[in-house]
A and B are shown apart, each in its own frame.
Chain A
Amino acid sequence: MSPNFQIAWRFLVAKKRALFMSLAGIVFGVAFFIVTQAQTAGFQNFFVQTILGVNGALRVQDQYQYTLTDMVAELEESEEVDRIRLREGREYRPGVHNPNQVAEAVRAFEEVTGVAAVLRGSSSISSGFRSDEGRVLGINLLEYLAVSDLGMYLRHGDLADFSADPAGILLGNRLAARLQVSVGDTVYLGHLGEQRRYRIAAIYETGVEQYDRFHYFIHQAEARLLLKRPDEVSYLQVAVRNPNNAPVLAQRIEEAVGHHVASWQERERSWLDVFRVLTISSAITMSAIILIAGLGIFNTLAIIVMERSREIAILRSMGYSRGDIRAIFIYQGMVVMVLGTVVGFILALCLTWGVERLPIRIRGIFATDSFLVEWSIWHYVWAAVIAAVVVFIASWIPARKAARMEPANIIRGTGA
């Protein structure tokens, strides 16, 4: 053990009480920082997982053409085009009109793991009890299961039933409750005055209000008949290998297939922003605890420097350099920092474990019945970095003061 460290240790131990308070501050600051980050990240991850499970990573949507080059084509085809929007010099045509071809082009991307065509439209939906408006989604089940977690969200009924019954329908639990229907019951979908009859094959709950309350799935062939749209689909839902890369991939696919491609990050920006703000604000709040602990350490060390000024002078007189004196006080901060961080880590592990078991019921953007946490080494790394920076500054200032003291002045001051 270096003499500097030995001196630091004895100085520190002689101030056990003050040391304990600063230590507690670091411990709680580090632990709470980690737990709040683990929670926010836990909820965010589950949200993202739900988004990917329900909406997929990418959506290939409206076809576009560059306005200048395609003016004439537009005129020729204008009778077929029902709506034209202008955006950024592009001309958009809703939907995907040659889905097989586009799907083929999208599948050609190595990162793409699945593509499903979805035909979407509005319809009325009614049971014997009441009637409502909603969104009908026409899917090919196998294709769709490859790009979503629909299977995981089933609460009642069976996908095999849906598969086997061309007039089968999948319903969200909230809509089912509103219509007061259950598996096996009949509902009627109406579009442009015509009604068709469906049998409920299964009921799902995603936790996403939109889906559970307003959406329902039928076979795509049925949807074409109901909505009277024989060829096109509304969008392609795409699953990818690495969802974090979705925006870049979206850009590349967009250029390759001439359709607007939206990544989940783009579609869910507002929610992702909410999570980002939560992450940052809780990090700041918890860092404030560490900062206050840092003030405590600063205070304790400043007192030690004053109380030990004669000892500092004598150490200097026997050949300890300014650097040695500085090291002695920095070591004291480091001891508190290392101890506080290690104990803080242990407390964080325990708290995170406990929080994960706390019950809480959330529906709306996802469905969970307990707190969600993410176990990430990075939360620990960040807490340690913040504690290290704070403690380093808190000990650097008194250490510098101690190093700058002139031994002759100190000794003269004692009347020798």
Chain B
Amino acid sequence: MSGQVTGGVVAMKARGLVRTLGSGEAAVRVLDGLDFDLSPGKTHAIVGPSGCGKSTLLYLMGLLDRPDRGEIYIGDLELAAASDEVRTRARNASLGFVFQFHFLLSEFSAMENVMLPMAKLGGKSREEMEQRAVGLLDKLGLADKARRMAHQLSGGEQQRVAIARALANAPAILLADEPTGNLDERNARQVFEQLQGVAHELGQAVLMVTHNPGLAEQCDRILRMRDGRFT
């Protein structure tokens, strides 16, 4: 069984991903040869028991970590073995990442947090960046809190700012590791719907790890994982 889609456009694909963590006797083969494709405009859920390697997979896809073996493509560009420079640029331009914990920069306002990836990418004036940041926050229901400092926002609000930040450079792929794991049911649903909406409206490929079976069921595709493999 694999997550490969036959035919159709592919936003990102992985082939034969192997990742071993730890060393010597403590070495664990966390990912054991994974293949899958992400389709644009679709939400993909990864579900599986704790410790089965979901986060490890997302870090590889997010180019935050390198596999021991295997390839990762965005379009035709292979990135698993690419230089740090190429991978950094790809993270900036093509990938958005949402973590379980928001990880906003607390001395920056919501709007400034959303502007950080844009400032790095360049090509926009300050006004354009501000406009886009406010627009994204508006879409996530935070228009009136754009100028609040990150630490003055509730957990759900912070997570939505993190989603706006992940979307800042209109990346082709959005990766989210238990984005709702830390939120109550109402906030979780709201955040999930926003991710779903982003994929369907903006055509992004969304890959989301979730423990919530109800939410997973609503995704376009579900990838079930156990012991470093899809089942």
A407/B64 in contact, CB under 8 A: yes
Number of interface residues of B (CB under 8 A): 33
Q: Which residues of B contact A317 (CB under 8 A)?
A: 62, 64, 91, 97
**In the complex, B148 has a CB within 8 A of chain A:** no
Measured CA separation A7–B55 after assembly (Å): 28
Of the A-B pairs whose beta carbons lie under 8 Å apart in the complex, a sample of 27, sorted by A's number, is A3-B119, A7-B116, A10-B108, A11-B107, A311-B103, A311-B105, A313-B103, A314-B105, A315-B105, A315-B116, A317-B97, A318-B92, A318-B97, A318-B117, A318-B166, A319-B93, A319-B117, A319-B120, A320-B88, A321-B88, A322-B84, A406-B65, A411-B55, A411-B99, A412-B56, A412-B59, A416-B177
- Least CB distance from B44 to A in Å reads 18
Place the interface of chain A in its size category.
Answer: 20 to 34
Q: Which of A285-344 contact B (CB under 8 A)?
A: 310-311, 313-322, 324
Q: Which residues of B contact A416 (CB under 8 A)?
A: 55, 99-101, 177-178
**Roughly how many angstroms separate A408 CA and B58 CA in the complex, as a whole number?**
10
Q: Does A13 touch B at the CB level, under 8 Å?
A: yes
Q: Residue B85 at the A interface, CB < 8 A?
A: yes
How far apart are the CA atoms of A342 and B99 in the complex, in Å?
43
Among B2-48, those with CB < 8 Å from A are none
- The answer to whether the Cβ of B165 comes within 8 Å of any Cβ in the partner chain is yes
Q: Is the CB of A408 within 8 A of B116?
A: no
CA–CA, A317 to B169, complex, Å? Answer: 13
For the complex, is B147 an interface residue (Cβ under 8 Å from A)?
no
Contact between A14 and B107, CB atoms less than 8 A apart: yes
Spell out A's residues near B (CB within 8 Å). 2-3, 7, 10-11, 13-14, 310-311, 313-322, 324, 406-408, 411-412, 414, 416
The residues of A that contact B116 with a CB separation of less than 8 Å are: 3, 7, 315, 318
How long is the Cα–Cα vector from A164 to B180 in the complex, in angstroms? 108
> Considering the chains assembled together, what is the distance between the CA atoms of A412 and B85 in angstroms?
23
**Chain B residue with the shortest CB-CB distance to A10:** B107
B76-101 contacts to A, CB under 8 A, are 84-85, 88-89, 91-93, 96-97, 99-101
Q: In the assembled complex, how far is the CB of residue B110 from the closest CB belonging to chain A, in whole angstroms?
A: 14
| A313 surroundings in chain B (CB, below 8 A) | 64, 103
Known: A317-B91, A321-B84. A414 touches B101 (CB 8 A): yes
Q: Is B89 within 8 A of A319, CB to CB? A: yes
Contact of A13 among B55, B91, B107, B121 (CB under 8 A): B107
Q: Could you say which residues of chain A place their CB within 8 Å of the CB of B96?
A: 318
Establish whether residues B92 and A319, one from each chain, have CB atoms under 8 Å apart when the complex forms.
yes
Q: Which residues of B contact A411 (CB under 8 A)?
A: 55, 59, 64, 99
CB distance from B122 to the nearest CB of A (A): 10
Pick the residue among A10, A13, A324, A414 that contacts B120 (CB under 8 A). A324
For A408, what are the chain B residues with a Cβ–Cβ distance below 8 Å?
59, 64-65
List, in ascending order, chain B residues with CB within 8 A of A2's CB. 119
The digit string for B51-64, where 1 denotes a CB below 8 A from any CB of A, is 00001100100101
Residue on B nearest A324 in the bound complex, by CB: B120
CA distance A411 to B117 in the complex (A): 19
Q: Kindly provide the distance from the CB of A362 to the nearest chain B CB, expressed in whole angstroms.
A: 55
Q: Which residues of chain B come closer than 8 Å to A11, judged between CB atoms?
A: 107
Chain A contacts for B65, CB-based, 8 A: 406-408
Q: Which residues of B contact A319 (CB under 8 A)?
A: 88-89, 91-93, 117, 120-121, 169
Query: In whole angstroms, what is the CA distance A10 to B151 when docked?
Result: 14
Q: Which of B111-129 contact A (CB under 8 A)?
A: 116-117, 119-121
Residues of A within 8 A of B91 (CB): 316-319
Question: Are A320 and B64 neighbours in the complex by a CB distance under 8 Å?
Answer: no
Chain B residues, Cβ within 8 Å of A10: 105, 107-108
A-B residue pairs, 4 tightest by C-beta: A319-B92, A408-B65, A3-B119, A10-B107
Which listed residue, B85, B108, B168, touches A321 by the CB 8 Å rule? B85
Most buried by B among A10, A11, A317, A324: A317
Q: How far is the CB of B86 from chain A (nearest CB, A)?
A: 11
Residue of B whose beta carbon sits closest to that of A311: B105
Residues of A within 8 Å of B103, CB to CB, are 310-311, 313-314
Q: How far is it, in angstroms, between the C-alpha of A414 and the C-alpha of B92 when the chains are bound?
A: 23
Closest residue of chain A to B118, judged by CB? Answer: A3
Task: Please report the C-alpha to C-alpha distance between residue A101 and residue B63 in the assembled complex, in whole angstroms.
Answer: 89
